[in-house]
Structure formats: C-alpha cells, structure tokens
Amino acid sequence: MAENLKFRNPQLAQNIAAKIRSLAPKAGKTKICHVCGTHEWTITHFGLRSLLPNGVEVIAGPGCPVCIVPAAEIDEAVQLAKMDVVVTCFGDVLRVPGSQMSLLEAKASGADVRIVYAVSDAVEMAKREPNKPFAFFAVGFETTAPSTAVEALNNPPKNLSFLVSHRLIPPAMELLLGVGDLQIDGFIAPGHVSAIIGLKPYELFPRVYRMPTVVAGFEPIDVLMSIYMIVKQQAEGKARLENEYPRVVKPEGNLKAQEMIKAAFTVTAGNWRGIGRLPDSALQLREAFADHDARLKHGVHVEQGKDILLGCECHLVIIGKIRPNECPMFLKGCSPEKPVGACMVSNEGTCRVWAKNVAVQA
C-alpha cells in the first residue's frame, strides 16, 4: 500500500527538502532527535541526511529496544538457560553481550536457546513439550509489550514463564533533555510505539520543555515531512505536538492494548544499557502472575552487570552523543559479522544500521 500511495515518491521528497532548506535560515540551528531504530534505518538507508541543509541535524537516541537491555538482564537469561530452562527470544537478542556471555554463547555451550518470531511461538512450544520449563525473554518497547500481555493474560501453560525486560520510551526522551551538551531542539516520536500509547504521553515535551514534537511514520516521505514540521515550528518560534502518521496513530492510541498492558504489568524503575536507572521506565508482571514470572519462579536475579566493554562507546551512541563512525572500534574490530557492542548486534542498533548502509550513503 505504501508504495502505491507514493510514500517513497522522489519528487515529493525533493519538494519537502526544498521547503526545509527555505525555512532553515529562519529556524537556525535545529538538532532533531528520533528514538526509533526503524527511523534510523529509513534515514540512513535512503540517505535523507544528505538532503538536509547545514544547521538541520538529525541524531539517533535510544530507539533500539535490544541495545538498551542491560547486561544484568542478559545474565539472568543466561542463568535460566544454564538451569536447563528453555530460553526463547527474538533473533536480535541472541548475540547481545552479557557480562560473561551472550545467549548465543550459552547455546553453543549446550543450553537450549531458541529463536521465536512471536511470543505465541513460545506458548506453542511450551504446550508441545509440557515436561520442560520454558521462559520467554520479553524484550521491547510499548510496541511489543502488548503481545506479552496478551499471552500472560491468556492462561499461559504452567511450564512457561516470562523474563520481562520491557521498557517505556517517554521516560528515555525526558532523560535526553537533561543531558546538558546534547541540546536537542525537537523530537521525532516513534510511530509504532505511538500506535499503542497515543499522543498524550508526549504532551509534556512541548508544554514543559518547549520542544517541537512530531509523531512520524517510517517511509522516507514520513520522516522528511516530520523534519519539515519540526523545522517549521522552530522557524515560527512555536512548540507543538503534531501527528504526521494519522493513518496508523490515533490520538488515543490503541486502548485495548493499553488495557492489556495495565492488566498484566506494573510500571517500575528500570536499568538501561548505556544510560543507567530511569524511574517509571520499565514494566514488571503483576503479582497475580508471579507463577509465570521467570525471576520469581526460578530465583534468578542479577543486580549489576558489565554493560560496556573497554573501548566500546555504545553508551555514547545510544544517547546520540556521538555518531557510530566516531567510535574508534566502528568497523575496526566491531562489525556486523563480529559485533562487540549491543548497538552493532541488533538490526535496529545505530551502529549496525550505519555499517550496513555506509556504502549506500557514501
């Protein structure tokens, strides 16, 4: 549908870029931060930065749900795997480094670790093999949390538990505003997170922080349009919350999904790799589901892990403080084939997106 409807139309892209250029002198310095790995992919893959005038810059914030899972939680998954619990996870999670090893390394040393496409696959596996304990490693932002909630609420098999590492995006955006030398002038808010949570959670950014905020889709025209909308607000000296992606994002979001998240989880403080502990930024299963909480059921708890290896600058890439090519290890010892840091592991990681698309950009 997207292509039929010309969301990749080059002429439209050129028109929008021209509008951005014409507004740029009035807008002045405009540093725009997005918080979604898929936005970074669109921007990098389609070379959108090359269309922007001097002064208008787009940086990538903590938008990769796999990259921000702290090592301590990978360690918990590894512990489960070593206790002969079958650990099921999304493919991206497999190679994320823990303090001692990744789940892939645990698998190589004999643990039963299985990739699933959806949490429902884990449910099916657990039903098929009722004599084995299973755990689903629930990683992801608000986009993924509802699917975990659906299965947690749907009377899951007794032998299935959830290792919940879900995180919430708005608290991370708020954190970025406190990072003094980042000096962000506007936010592109993530379309698919917003499809769930709606517009309300972003209202504080224009109201409290005077930060133009535009919810955007993932086609190149969507992203360019959102940049234009932010630059326009900046030129007018205004800060508003706007929705560029109404074909998917309703103002109220997906109420059914919100209800399910609420029914299954409580909001709590959580650690983010490269960032640290953020209040009210993580989900944990409600007490009613304690029998299915992998941490409680199997007694795993890791307080502190080793998030960043020596020489790796993932912690700076994750908050948009440096670009991947400013890390001394980027493609020099850290590559998609042999990743060192989490940002090079996941398809949504900024380093991996750059590594895979550098040739296109150059």
Partner 1 sequence: MNLQGEKANVDFGQGVLREVNVSLVEAKVGDYVLVHAGYAIQIIEEEEAKETLNLWNSILEAGQ
Using CB under 8 A, list all residues that contact partner 1.
1, 5-7, 12, 15-16, 19, 22, 90, 117-121, 140, 143-144, 146-147, 150, 154, 192, 195-196, 221, 225, 244, 246-250, 254, 256-257, 260
Closest separation in Å from C-beta 183 to partner 1: 28
Question: Of 94 and 317, which CB lies nearer to partner 1 in the complex structure?
Answer: 94
CB of 346 vs partner 1, minimal distance in Å: 14
* Strand, helix or coil for residue 131: coil
Query: Rounded distance, CA 238 to CA 135, Å?
Result: 48
**Least CB distance to partner 1 at residue 100 (A):** 28
Residue with token string 């250029």 = 21
By beta-carbon proximity to partner 1, the closer residue of 155 and 183 is 155
The least distance separating partner 1 from the CB of residue 254, rounded to whole angstroms, comes to: 6
- Compare residues 75 and 244 and give the one whose CB is closer to partner 1: 244
Structure tokens at 210: 């005077």
- Report residue 17 CA to chain centroid gap: 27
**Which has the closest alpha carbon to 204: 170, 243, 168?**
170
Distance CA 28, CA 90 (A): 42
Are the beta carbons of 166 and 138 closer than 8 angstroms? yes
Report the relative pairing of strands 213-216 and 241-243 from DSSP bridges: parallel
CA pair distance 142, 36, nearest whole angstrom: 12
Q: Which residue, 99 or 120, is less far from partner 1 as judged by CB?
A: 120
Q: What are the strands, taking DSSP E only, across 225-349?
A: 241-243, 265-272, 276-285
Taking the least distance from each CB to partner 1, the nearer of 132 and 247 is: 247
- Number of neighbouring beta carbons within 10 Å of residue 6: 12
Cβ proximity to partner 1: between 74 and 249 the closer is 249
Closest CB 313 distance from partner 1, rounded Å = 29
DSSP 55: T
Q: What is the torsion angle, in degrees rounded to the nearest 10, for the CA atoms of residue 283, residue 287, residue 291 and residue 297?
A: 70
Select 138 or 241, whichever has its Cβ closest to partner 1.
Answer: 138
Q: How many residues are there in the chain?
A: 362
To partner 1, the closest distance from the beta carbon of 246 in angstroms equals 5
Q: How far is the CB of 320 from partner 1 (least distance, A)?
A: 24
